[in-house]
Amino acid sequence: MKPADVVEFFDRLAAANPDPRGELQFINAYTLLVAVVLSAQATDASVNRATEPLFKIADTPTKMLKLGEKKLKEYVRTIGLYNTKAKNIIRLSQILIDQYGSEVPADRDILQTLPGVGRKTANVVLNIVFRHPTMAVDTHIFRVCNRTGLAPGSTPDKVEQKLEKVVPEDRKLNAHHWLILHGRYICKARKPDCPVCILRDLCRYKAKTMAEVDDANMVTPSPARPRQARTALRRARRRGK
């Protein structure tokens, strides 16, 4: 994507949502870390449902250890991989107490040494809590960056490196929120909402979806959903008889 288009890309996202926020609920740096660990391969909504009562009684590493792994599992059992995640949360809580004075370190390398914390989790915590201009490339960002041509790459790490190069400095802090929200609600995996997308003319995705049926006489097959478009066309023709 041309640099001028990248600027326009983020100008539009910023105009549509000047103050983007993540959707995970948290109280402090520690509860955000726990929420992000729980969110791996789970929706933010499912994590929020579990953490709302959990954080009322365990919002620090000490309180989490006091709660214990068995009871923690009862709170998070609706979340995928909860056994492993609960173990990791107990272990990382102990490490935070023993080595970091119960504080969450503002350092990616240290964060990544904690159980269950990978680069993406560390980047989310650094960005949201410590306001570092990090790019936490999740499945949504990976898809949007590749489809649009903003920062194509075969792995999340490559996309992250590309984003760091191309995103304008003044957009770096919010870029990951804008891209996640765009991927979650507009540029969806199965059926992107290209007809209403504010980035449509900048986006290089070849299989953009189109408005399916506006009226019986204006039916345009969608390259991304040819079978559905053909069905819509047949129905429209029947209505026209």
Binding site for ligand SF4 (CB under 6 A): 147-148, 186-187, 192-194, 197, 199-200, 203, 205, 208
| Residue closer to ligand SF4, measured from CB, 85 or 184 | 184
Token pair belonging to 202: 């900048």
The residues that are catalytic are 120, 138
Residue 127 identity: N
Shortest CB 229 distance to ligand SF4, Å: 16
Shortest CB 207 distance to ligand SF4, Å: 8
Sequence-distant (6+) residues with CB within 8 A of 54 are 72, 75, 76
Question: How many CB atoms are closer than 10 A to CB 32?
Answer: 20
| Termini Cα distance of the chain | 46
Beta bridge partners of 215: 218
| Residue closer to ligand SF4, measured from CB, 80 or 226 | 226
Shortest CB 199 distance to ligand SF4, Å: 5
| Residue closer to ligand SF4, measured from CB, 111 or 194 | 194
Report the SS3 class of residue 214.
strand
